[in-house]
Amino acid sequence: MNDVARVAVVDDDRAIRWVLERALAQPDLEVECIERGDTALERLLADPPDVLVTDIRMPGIDGLDLMAKVREAHPELPVIVMTAHSDLDSAVASYQGGAFEYLPKPFDVDEALALVRRAVAHARERRRPISVPEGLDAEIIGEAPAMQEVFRAIGRLSHSQITVLINGESGTGKERVARALHQHSPRTGKPFIALNMAAIPRDLIESELFGHEKGAFTGATASRQGRFEQANGGTLFLDEIGDMPAETQTRLLRVLADGEFYRVGGHTPVKVDVRIIAATHQDLERLVEDGRFREDLFHRLNVIRVHLPRLSERREDIPRLTRHFLAEAAKELATDVKVLTPEAERHLTRLPWPGNVRQLENACRWLTVMASGREVLVEDLPPELRQASDEGLVASSDWRVAFRDWADRALAAGHTHLLEEAVPDFEKILIETALRHTGGRKGEAAELLGWGRNTLTRKLKVLLPALADGE
């Protein structure tokens, strides 16, 4: 296999051609410089290079036309567009024309070389077939133990119509779980209506929930069904229930008790058959204690509670979630599916993800639009994810993640007998920490570790002989 990549440089500026010819004079690169776009077109169509680097403004045919004609015949060819006129229109026109990357002049030669190498890697990646893993269209993804508990809850509730309260931070996927509860219930096929309490102005919440009659208030020019009526026979998902105003809590409690309500401005009761699934990121018990949430309503809603873990508590799921969101984003944006390098995947797995699954989904959408090549490197990540310090990564990860990283690196470096190396150090650290917490009292330290005194004494003689004598 020939590992030398051919790069064509098209620019009417002799100095630029001279600089790039020397910067790209590498053992794995073969460079051809051409002065005019029209001269280049014939050669490139007949014998396309691995990468094309072209200026925009040239006599004869400009770089954008050159790119369009060459990519029409060779759509997989990555094109790097250069211009001294680094304005918005040039950048937009370049990317709309299918440019791999846009390089404004003057440029750093090392940056240009790195960009060409990225384009070469991109071209080679495009030649390799890609398969999107099967089963990624599931409504919820999760192999971590914490998510398995959520799946068990959905399974147990699959034949039930009981009220459910979902707890979890913003972005953990509460609405996805609510939809799954609905789809796996006897009400599947009936309406699923979602309403976010925090997103509705206080003076419109009752109208939104219960509807209104014509003339009930200024602007009510016609009668309107509320979400309860729209969800009749199905499920009403009330997200951020902790933000519901006190007066609306009272009306909701009455609906849950009686199964009927009045529209705003109405005098005729409306009967409905609706299952309620509520969700919140807040501590409802604390809100009840503070008098901000009705205790009787809390007990009505808190029949079955499902807790959604933070993304940082289910790091095992991050690689699969990332593949799923990248595939979804590619489909949504009608483009190629991006693939993470192992290094980028490990980096993402170690991040704190304060925005949880929603933040990861948005990051995948960003990568689908902004990453140049099909293969995503750590350097391609959004700045706020790429620049996270190692200290921050370690602090945000639990010890299992750090331990798994150590095992990965050790095995990649060819180490063997990992248990012989890891277990003594693991026990040594626990013993030292326990002794520090007890001021050196071995009996108490043994109790903290869950060992008998004799076991600790034996371990000390082997692992920490300097600490074995004395109390």
- Measured CA to CA in angstroms, residue 217 lies from 205, 213, 256 at distances of 13, 9, 26
First-residue to last-residue Cα distance in the chain = 68
CATH of domain 148-307: 3.40.50.300
The CATH class of 311-392 is mainly alpha
The angle that helices 174-183 and 145-156 make with each other, rounded to 10 degrees, is 30
Looking at residue 336, the DSSP 8-state letter turns out to be P
- Burial degree of 246 (CB within 10 A; 0-12, 13-18, 19+): exposed
Contact 378, 340 (CB under 8 A): no
> Which residues, listed in sequence order, are joined to residue 55 by a DSSP beta bridge?
82
H helix or E strand, kind and range, residue 55: strand 51-55
Radius of gyration of the chain (CA): 31
- CATH classification for the domain delimited by 5-127, as one of 3.40.50.920, 3.40.50.2300, 3.30.300.30, 1.10.10.60: 3.40.50.2300
Question: How far apart (Å, rounded) are the C-alpha atoms in residues 176 and 238?
Answer: 13
Name the stretches of the chain with pLDDT < 50.
Answer: 1, 130-138, 389-397
The 10 Å CB-count burial string (b at 16+, else e) for 377-386 is beebbeeebe
pLDDT of residue 145: 77
CATH 3.40.1160.10 fits 399-469, yes or no: no
The angle that helices 399-412 and 342-350 make with each other, rounded to 10 degrees, is 160
Which phi-psi region, left, alpha or beta, contains residue 400 (left: φ > 0; alpha: ψ -120 to 50)?
Answer: alpha
pLDDT of residue 137: 37
Domain locations along the chain = 5-127, 148-307, 311-392, 399-469
- Burial degree of 364 (CB within 10 A; 0-12, 13-18, 19+): buried
Question: How far apart (Å, rounded) are the C-alpha atoms in residues 106 and 157?
Answer: 63
pLDDT of residue 392: 46
Amino acid 408 reads D
pTM for the whole thing?
A: 0.62
Fold agreement between 148-307 and 399-469: no
